[in-house]
C-alpha cells in the first residue's frame, strides 16, 4: 500500500501545482451556494435542514466530477507518460487506485469547504445533524462513483474533451435511470422486475435514500461496489490499450 500512498500524494499535490485547483474549488463553492440560496430558495422554505443543498449535488457533480476525471488517464496517454508510469515499480492496480483516491480526496476537500452552509443552518435553527452527516457521506460516495466512471472512460481515449463528454453522458444516464419518466418508459416495455432493476442501478435512487437520513448499508455498498467495478474496468481498459 506504500506505492498507492506515494501515487496518492503525488497526484493530490499535482492538483495544486497550478491555480486550476483553486479555480475549481471556488467554482464548486459558488455554484453550491447559488443553487442552495437562490435556486433552492433556502430562506423562503424556512426549514432547518440541508435537503435543498444536497438536492443539487448530482447536477454539480455531473459537470465538475468529469472535469476532474478527464485528466486521470487521457493526459497520461496523450503525453506518453503512461508507458513511463507502468515501467515504475508500481503495479497497474496500485496506479489506478492511487490516482482515483487522489481525485476523490480532492473532491472531498471541495465538499468539506461547504461547511459554512452547515454552520448557517445550525445558527438559524436546530437541524438533525445526523441526517446532514449522512447527506455529506452520500454526496462524497456519489462523487466517487462519478470519478470512477470518468476514470474508466478517460482511459479509453487520448482526448480529455472526449473523456469529459463521455463521462457526462454516462453519469447523466445513471442519474436519469432513477427518474419517474425513465422508469415509466421501461415499465411500458418490460415487466416490473426490470423496472426495479433499472431503479436500483441509478445513482440518484441511492443518493436520495441516504440524504433522507436512511443510512442503509445497502446504499453505501452500492456506491462502493460501483466504484470497485469501474476501477476494475479501468484496469482492463488500460491493459487492452497497452497491448495495442
Size (the chain), residues: 244
Give the contacts of 146 (CB within 8 A, at least 6 positions apart). 61, 62, 65, 66, 69, 167, 171, 203
Using 50, 70 and 90 to split pLDDT, how confident is the model at 10? confident
- Residue indicated by cell numbers 454552520: 119
* pLDDT per position as a tens digit, 129-165: 888 899 999 999 999 999 999 999 998 888 888 999 9
Q: Per the confidence metrics, is the pTM higher than 0.85?
A: yes
Residue numbers of the domain that contains 102: 2-243
Q: How far apart are CA 208 and CA 173, in angstroms?
A: 16
Mean pLDDT of 99-110: 94
Tally of domains within the chain: 1
Give the contacts of 210 (CB within 8 A, at least 6 positions apart). 134, 135, 137, 138, 141, 216, 219, 220
Amino acid at each position: 500500500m506504500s506505492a498507492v500512498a506515494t501515487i496518492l500524494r503525488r497526484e493530490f499535490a499535482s492538483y495544486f501545482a497550478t491555480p486550476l485547483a483553486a479555480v475549481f474549488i471556488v467554482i464548486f463553492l459558488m455554484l453550491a451556494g447559488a443553487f442552495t440560496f437562490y435556486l433552492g430558495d433556502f430562506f423562503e422554505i424556512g426549514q432547518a435542514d440541508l435537503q435543498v443543498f444536497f438536492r443539487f449535488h448530482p447536477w454539480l457533480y455531473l459537470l465538475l466530477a468529469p472535469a476532474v476525471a478527464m485528466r486521470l488517464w487521457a493526459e497520461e496517454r496523450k503525453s506518453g507518460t503512461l508507458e513511463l508510469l507502468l515501467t515504475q515499480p508500481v503495479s497497474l492496480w496500485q496506479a489506478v487506485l492511487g490516482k482515483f483516491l487522489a481525485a476523490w480526496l480532492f473532491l472531498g476537500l471541495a465538499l468539506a469547504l461547504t461547511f459554512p452552509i452547515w454552520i448557517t443552518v445550525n445558527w438559524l435553527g436546530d437541524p438533525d445533524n445526523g441526517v446532514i452527516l449522512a447527506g455529506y457521506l452520500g454526496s462524497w460516495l456519489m462523487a466517487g462513483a462519478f470519478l470512477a466512471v470518468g476514470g474508466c472512460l478517460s482511459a479509453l481515449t487520448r482526448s480529455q474533451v472526449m473523456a469529459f463528454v463521455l463521462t457526462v453522458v454516462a453519469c447523466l444516464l445513471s442519474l436519469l435511470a432513477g427518474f419517474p419518466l425513465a422508469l415509466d418508459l421501461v415499465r411500458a416495455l418490460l415487466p416490473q422486475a426490470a423496472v426495479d432493476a433499472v431503479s436500483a442501478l441509478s445513482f440518484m435512487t441511492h443518493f436520495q435514500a441516504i440524504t433522507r437520513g436512511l443510512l442503509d448499508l445497502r446504499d453505501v455498498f452500492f456506491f462502493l461496489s460501483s466504484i470497485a467495478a469501474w476501477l476494475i474496468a479501468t484496469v482492463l481498459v488500460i491493459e487492452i490499450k497497452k497491448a495495442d
